[in-house]
Chains A and B, each alone.
Chain A
Amino acid sequence: MTRKQKITLIRIIVSAALLAAAIVVRRFVSMPWWAELLMFLAPYLTVGYDVLKKAFLNVIHGQIFDENFLMCIATIGAFAIKEYPEAAFVMLFYQVGELFQSIAVGRSRKSIAGLMNIRPDHANVLRNGEELVVSPDGVEPGEEIIIRSGERVPLDGVVLEGSTSLNMAALTGESAPRDVNVGENVISGSVNLSGLIRVRTTGVYADSTVSKVLELVERSAERKSRQENFITKFAKWYTPAVVVSAVLLALIPPLLFHGSWTEWLERALIFLVVSCPCALVISVPLSFFCGMGGASKKGVLVKGSNYLDALSKVGAVVFDKTGTLTRGSFEVTAVHTRCMSRAELLDIAAMAESYSNHPIAESIVRAHGGHIDKSRIGEVKELAGLGIEAEIDGRRVLAGNRRLMHERGLTPVCRFGCGETDEGTCVHIAADGEYLGHIIISDEVKASSPRAIAKLRQAGIRTVMLTGDSEYAANEVGKQLGLDEVHSGLLPNDKVELVEKMLETKGRRTLAFVGDGINDAPVLSRADVGIAMGALGSDAAIEAADIVIADDDPEKVFTAFRTAKRTMRIVKENIVFALAVKLIVLVLGAFGIANMWIAVFADVGVAVIAVLNAIRAMKVRS
């Protein structure tokens, strides 16, 4: 409890004691009305003086319809109709509720802050052979820093010396530590678990992974969901509407229908107490925030509550194949050629692909293994969705898919009976219009992909896979995973077109696209919900995506979906519960059935329950 909360608690206890004493005294001693009034004013003022003060100040500042003001009118009204104990009790009850609410909100604030406690507070930088402790944003790129065991990695960098294991749970939700050695990258925000490492920083703090993640999470409150906007609009109309009804309720029956002034005034006061929209105004954004906080603990970063709303209504999830459902780590499994040795073909292919960072190109360079003489390579052109055209030893070399060969009037043939594409991706090589042979590369399906697809399908979601790969390779993966739909042989702009077509015909449910973020940026931004995977460190993906999955586990897509569903359910529960209770109490109050107690419960009691319910959204099962 904070100091303010403790003081409130003491005031509540003192006031409760005074009130109990006053009730006992009144029962046994008869006294004039002013003595009674004074006796009940003591507990009332003890617990409620700050409410009166705030109400007074707010009225001076022109803020009429606020909670404090309404509570004051209601309780002063109760004094006016000589309901002294009731007036004091209502104020006491209100303050107890406010205290509960403040504690509950404080708790959830603290646990959310705990989830985001990944901000590094210092860096040990080596300057002129001396070790200095500085703030992370005071370190330049290329400087050397020392990270000891137990310390948080302050900046992104490359290990120069030492090896250790890192806990990346705060970033990826993955609890198994990751081992790093010399030459490998370390990501800021992770925690060094065992040994001392020296690291060369690769960028400034503002561009580091941890800053990006923190900025993303902190800014998420700015993108508001439909529900939050609804509450904002609702609150604008609701309070004045209830206050006007209260005035009408107090005036019309006594004036027109000879009702008793005291009775209708009391009913009007009940209206005023119920009129505060706090339960909604607090609990709805809090539910979203807890949902996003819980998801970030599992390595799912959501950019705004509107995306949780959209994801909860998802009808189809479209996956990119390579790097998303499959590992994207390709291995050369066969080299088929007739007119030259395998090593020679691999040599040509490796040279052609040596400037590309496509995973397939990298696998060929890796398979080649040896030194690549770059002086033999001339102009290199990357042909999107087709392959590469390169000048090697003065010959025009083509390395790419079947379509590229057909476009250049070549017919791939295989005298080894592999059918060219039978085992996976096939890179055909040709030089100066002569077909040389092909290299077969296979990609492995991620271990958790089948589970991810099965769970999504079980939830009634259509699963679709898009790939630039050959039909055969795509269908193999499709069968293995049990996907509903597979589209293969797509160029990057085909993917955009296809997703756009699906968006037109999707109906009321939304469409999510999951990609690894490297070349999917246009599709990621086009889909209702763009999910980038394994995207830590890739700025373009973080920029384009609505939801970022920190590691590369496709099952997290389902985690994100379930969190979204659960959060939305809690939000709806809170809206319906708060509105229903308030409406019922308003109706009961108008008919004289509800008393002031029930009215105060409908205000603060409901707010406390809604806040406690909102906190549930933070628990996310993996």
Chain B
Amino acid sequence: MKKTFQLEDLDCANCALKMENAIKKLEGVTDASVSFIMQKMTVEAEDGADFDALMKKVVKLCRKVEPDCRIIL
């Protein structure tokens, strides 16, 4: 399963990179990409994974990396 989310106030390209790498390491995530330019995040999870619970983890993780940036769920 794969979903795309819009991001707000993503101001730092290096942070986008860090977010991407951190999300990729989450359990259940098969692939992730954060586009600094499009301000978009794509998260791909294993089939049958609880996506909402996963996204909660993603949001928490992103707040750690870049407190300004918001994920629009």
Contacts and interface: CB of A to CB of B under 8 A. Distances in A.
Interface string A271-284: 00000111001100
B37 A108 contact: yes
A218 B14 contact: no
Contact of B14 (A4, A108, A112, A281): A281
A588 interface: no
Contacts of A66: 14-15
Given A54-B67, A63-B64, A63-B65, A221 B35 contact: yes
Q: What is the size category of the interface that chain B forms with chain A?
A: 20 to 34
Given A63-B65, A102-B11, A235 B17 contact: yes
A278 B13 contact: yes
Contact of B37 (A221, A222, A232): A221
Contact of B67 (A57, A62, A109): A57
Contacts, number: 54
Contacts of A58: 67
Interface in B16-68: 17-18, 33, 35-40, 42, 64-65, 67-68
B59 to A, nearest CB: 14
Contact of A218 (B12, B38, B67, B68): B38
A96 to B, nearest CB: 15
Given A222-B33, A235-B14, A109 B39 contact: yes
Given A278-B12, A281-B13, A63 B18 contact: yes
A266 interface: no
A61 interface: yes
A236 to B, nearest CB: 9
A156 interface: no
Given A61-B64, A281-B17, A67 B12 contact: yes
A289 interface: yes
B69 to A, nearest CB: 11
B67 A278 contact: no
Contacts of A61: 64-65
Contacts of A276: 14
Interface in A176-227: 218, 221-222
A286 interface: yes
A285 interface: yes
Q: Contact size class for A?
A: 20 to 34
B10 to A, nearest CB: 10
Contact of B38 (A54, A63, A221): A221
Among B4, B9, B14, B37, which residue has the most Cβ atoms of chain A within 10 A?
B37
A235 to B, nearest CB: 7
The winner among A109, A277, A278, A281 for most chain B CB atoms within 10 A is A281
A33 B11 CA distance: 37
Contacts of A277: 14
B68 to A, nearest CB: 8
27 contacts: A4-B9, A58-B67, A61-B64, A61-B65, A62-B64, A63-B18, A63-B64, A63-B65, A66-B15, A67-B12, A102-B11, A105-B37, A109-B37, A218-B38, A221-B33, A221-B37, A221-B38, A221-B40, A235-B14, A278-B12, A278-B13, A281-B17, A282-B13, A285-B13, A285-B36, A286-B36, A289-B38
Given A61-B64, A112-B38, A277-B14, 13 more contacts: A57-B67, A63-B18, A109-B39, A112-B37, A221-B38, A221-B40, A222-B42, A232-B17, A235-B14, A276-B14, A278-B13, A278-B14, A285-B36
Interface of B: 4, 9, 11-15, 17-18, 33, 35-40, 42, 64-65, 67-68
**6 closest cross-chain pairs (CB), A and B:** A282-B13, A61-B64, A281-B13, A221-B35, A289-B37, A281-B14
